[in-house]
C-alpha cells in the first residue's frame, strides 16, 4: 500500500466520521415536541452505545459462551474448562503467579511511590527527582522488558567471555559466580514484577504527590504546633488525608497488573514457570488453538478485574467529590 493510498484512507475516514456526526446533529436538531430532549439524548448516545455493543459487549458475551464449549467451540462441555484451570498443575501455577503479581506489584509500587513523594516533597530538587522516577512511565512495557532483559542477561564465567548483563557484571566484580537469573524459580517471577514496579512507581508517585500537596496547610501547621514529629505526621496526618488517592492508585495498578501480558511475553514467553493468566489466555487461544480454555481464562480474568474496577470507580468519585 502506498503512502498516497494511506492518506486517501485517512481522508475518507475523517470525512465519514464528520458525515456521521453531521447526520446525528442534523437529525437531533429536527426532534420536536415534548420528548425532544429524550430523543436527542438517545441519538447522541447511539453511536458510542453501538460501538460498545459491537466492540465490547457482544465479544464479552461470546467469550463467556465459548468458555463452556470445547477446543473448537462445537460441543458443549459445561464447566470442564474451568475445572481444568483449577486442577491442572501447570495452570494452577499460572494462577499462583498471577496472585504473586497482584499482591506484590500494587503494594510495592505504591509504597515506593509514596515514600519517594514524601521524601522529595518541597525539597530544592523536587521536580528533577520526580522526573527521574516518572520517566520510565514513558517507556512501553515491551521496551522496558527488553531493557531489563539486558540487566538480567547471563554469560558464563569461562575464558575471555564478557558479561553483558548489569547484575551479573556486578556479581563478577565482587568475585561471585554469574547467575542465570531468569531461570531461578520461583524468584524469576519477582524479577519480572520488578519491571512493572519500575514503570508504575512513577505513576503512584505523581498522583500521591499531588494529593499530599492538596492537604490544607492549616492542618499540617496545627499538627506541627501540637508538637507532631515527622513520623507521627506521616501516619496521623498525611496518610489519612490521602487515603482515597491511595486507594485509587492501588486499584488502578491492580487492574493493570491483572492484565499484564507484554512483560511476561517479552522476557520469558511464559517459560520457566512465569506465565500469568493473560499470557496463558493468549497462548491457549492462539498457539494451542484451544478456544475453550482460552475463553475460560479470559472470563476468569474478567471476573477478577470487575470488583476492583467497581471499587476503583467508587473511590474515584469520592476523590472528585471532595
At residue 69, φ and ψ (nearest 5 deg) are -115, 175
CB of residue 4 to other proteins, shortest distance in Å: 9
Q: Which of 161, 312, 317, 166 has its CA nearest to residue 247?
A: 312
Residue 26 touches other proteins, criterion: CB under 8 A: yes
Residue 287 touches other proteins, criterion: CB under 8 A: yes
What are the beta bridge partners of residue 76?
69
CA pair distance 53, 35, nearest whole angstrom: 25
Residue count (the chain): 322
Residues 208 to 247: which contact other proteins by CB under 8 A?
none
CB atoms within 10 A of CB 249: 26
Residue 288 touches other proteins, criterion: CB under 8 A: yes
CA pair distance 249, 206, nearest whole angstrom: 10
CB of residue 50 to other proteins, shortest distance in Å: 19
Applying CB under 8 A, among 106, 136, 244, 270 the residue interacting with other proteins is 270
CB atoms within 10 A of CB 183: 14
Segment contacting other proteins by CB under 8 A, of 8-16, 48-56, 206-214, 294-302: 8-16
Give CA 93 to chain center in angstroms: 21
Do residues 180 and 165 touch, judged by C-beta distance below 8 A?
A: no
Segment contacting other proteins by CB under 8 A, of 33-41, 66-74, 225-233, 246-254: 66-74
Do residues 104 and 250 touch, judged by C-beta distance below 8 A?
A: no
Q: Which of 312, 305, 274, 291 has its CA nearest to residue 149?
A: 274
Applying CB under 8 A, among 156, 186, 229, 307 the residue interacting with other proteins is 156
* Strand, helix or coil for residue 69: strand
Segment contacting other proteins by CB under 8 A, of 61-69, 96-104, 224-232, 278-286: 278-286
* Strand, helix or coil for residue 76: strand
The conformation of residue 88, written as its DSSP 8-state character, comes to S
Residue 158 touches other proteins, criterion: CB under 8 A: yes
CB of residue 11 to other proteins, shortest distance in Å: 6
CA pair distance 94, 214, nearest whole angstrom: 41
Residue 75 touches other proteins, criterion: CB under 8 A: yes
Residue 3 touches other proteins, criterion: CB under 8 A: no
Applying CB under 8 A, among 40, 169, 241, 283 the residue interacting with other proteins is 283
CB of residue 199 to other proteins, shortest distance in Å: 22
Do residues 258 and 277 touch, judged by C-beta distance below 8 A?
A: yes
Residue 19 touches other proteins, criterion: CB under 8 A: yes
CB of residue 99 to other proteins, shortest distance in Å: 21
Applying CB under 8 A, among 16, 42, 79, 131 the residue interacting with other proteins is 16
Give CA 88 to chain center in angstroms: 27
Segment contacting other proteins by CB under 8 A, of 13-21, 32-40, 97-105, 138-146: 13-21
Applying CB under 8 A, among 119, 161, 219, 310 the residue interacting with other proteins is 161
Applying CB under 8 A, among 23, 42, 57, 210 the residue interacting with other proteins is 23
Interface positions with other proteins (CB under 8 A): 5, 8-9, 11-12, 15-16, 18-19, 22-23, 26, 29, 70-72, 75, 90, 154-156, 158-159, 161, 180, 182-183, 265, 269-272, 282-283, 286-290
Amino acid at each position: 500500500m502506498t503512502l498516497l493510498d494511506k492518506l486517501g484512507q485517512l481522508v475518507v475516514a475523517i470525512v465519514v466520521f464528520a458525515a456521521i456526526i453531521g447526520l446525528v446533529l442534523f437529525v437531533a436538531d429536527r426532534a420536536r415536541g415534548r420528548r425532544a430532549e429524550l430523543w436527542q439524548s438517545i441519538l447522541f448516545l447511539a453511536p458510542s452505545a453501538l460501538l460498545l455493543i459491537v466492540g465490547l459487549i457482544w465479544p464479552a458475551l461470546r467469550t463467556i459462551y465459548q468458555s463452556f464449549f470445547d477446543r473448537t467451540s462445537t460441543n458443549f462441555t459445561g464447566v470442564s474448562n474451568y475445572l481444568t484451570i483449577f486442577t491442572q498443575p501447570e495452570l494452577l501455577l499460572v494462577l499462583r503467579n498471577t496472585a504473586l503479581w497482584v499482591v506484590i506489584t500494587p503494594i510495592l509500587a505504591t509504597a515506593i511511590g509514596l515514600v519517594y513523594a514524601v521524601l522529595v516533597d518541597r525539597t530544592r530538587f523536587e521536580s528533577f527527582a520526580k522526573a527521574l522516577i516518572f520517566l520510565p512511565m514513558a517507556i512501553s512495557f515491551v521496551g522496558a522488558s527488553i531493557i531489563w532483559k539486558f540487566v538480567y542477561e547471563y554469560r558464563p564465567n569461562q575464558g575471555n567471555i564478557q558479561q553483558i548483563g548489569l547484575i551479573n557484571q556486578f556479581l563478577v566484580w565482587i568475585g561471585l559466580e554469574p547467575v542465570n537469573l531468569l531461570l531461578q524459580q520461583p524468584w524469576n517471577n519477582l524479577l519480572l514484577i520488578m519491571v512493572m514496579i519500575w514503570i508504575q512507581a512513577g505513576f503512584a508517585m505523581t498522583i500521591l504527590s499531588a494529593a499530599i500537596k492538596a492537604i490544607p496547610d492549616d492542618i499540617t501547621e496545627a499538627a506541627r504546633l501540637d508538637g507532631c514529629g515527622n513520623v507521627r505526621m506521616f501516619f496521623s496526618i498525611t496518610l489519612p488525608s490521602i487515603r482515597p488517592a491511595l486507594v485509587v492508585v492501588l486499584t488502578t495498578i491492580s487492574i493493570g497488573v491483572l492484565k499484564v501480558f507484554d512483560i511476561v511475553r517479552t522476557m520469558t514467553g511464559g517459560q520457566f514457570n512465569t506465565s500469568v493468566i493473560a499470557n496463558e489466555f493468549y497462548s491457549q487461544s492462539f498457539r494451542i488453538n484451544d478456544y475453550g480454555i482460552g475463553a475460560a481464562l479470559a472470563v476468569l480474568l474478567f471476573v477478577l478485574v470487575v470488583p476492583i474496577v467497581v471499587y476503583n470507580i467508587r473511590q474515584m468519585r469520592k476523590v472528585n467529590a471532595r
